[in-house]
Amino acid sequence: MILDVNAIQKILPHRHPMLMLDAIVEMERQKRVVGIKNVTINESFFQGHFPGNPVMPGVLIVEAMAQAGGVLLFQEVPERENKLLYFVAIDEARFRRPVVPGDQLRVEVTVLNWRGNFCKLAGQATVNGQLAAEAILMCKMVDRQP
């Protein structure tokens, strides 16, 4: 493990219940990152999605990809506590299998292009080697408002 949840919280502004990563297990600066999300029945979204048939919402899987990318990108930003990353587009999102309590989501994100404040990332989320979701994410780094 490279970063645990406490180290991730020193990099990302996200907190429970919106923090979607438990660990970073691989990282190549400016290139790729691999994060882990342990999916438990205690997640608040399972109360309503769906009672009796809990499934992790696809948008939260995409959010986990974005957060992993954020950990990677913020490594290069000296004053990251004054910055936020906003989605500007999500392309080619595909959901291949449900993610359910007990699954360990492995989120791999690769930098496709990075210029100035804009970045394009390719994300894949797998469970036990099976593709659960994939997407192309575009984000913009902005100044955090006081």
Alpha-carbon distances, residue 25 vs 29, 47, 77 (angstroms): 13, 29, 20
CA distance 76 to 138: 17
Q: What pLDDT does 79 receive? A: 87
Range of the structural domain that residue 96 is part of: 3-143
16 is an active site residue:
no
pTM of the model: 0.96
Phi-psi region of 73 (alpha: psi -120 to 50; beta: other; left: phi over 0): alpha
Q: How many domains does the chain have?
A: 1
| 49, 83, 97, 140: the active-site residue | 49
CATH code of residue 69: 3.10.129.10
CA angle, corner 90, sides to 23 and 37, nearest 5?
Answer: 15
Q: Which of 133, 124, 54 has its CA nearest to residue 96? A: 133
What average pLDDT does the segment 135-142 reach? 97
Q: Which of 134, 19, 125, 137 has its CA nearest to residue 73? A: 137
Alpha-carbon distances, residue 113 vs 21, 77, 91, 108, 138 (angstroms): 23, 16, 14, 16, 9
The whole-chain average pLDDT of the chain stands at 96
Per-residue pLDDT band at 145 (split at 50, 70, 90):
confident
Q: What pLDDT does 80 receive? A: 86
* pLDDT tens, position by position, 85-127: 999 999 999 999 999 999 999 999 999 999 999 999 999 999 9
What average pLDDT does the segment 26-49 reach? 97
User: One-letter amino acid identity for 39?
Assistant: V
Q: What pLDDT does 23 receive? A: 98
User: One-letter amino acid identity for 119?
Assistant: C
Q: Which residue do the tokens 């769906």 mark? A: 50
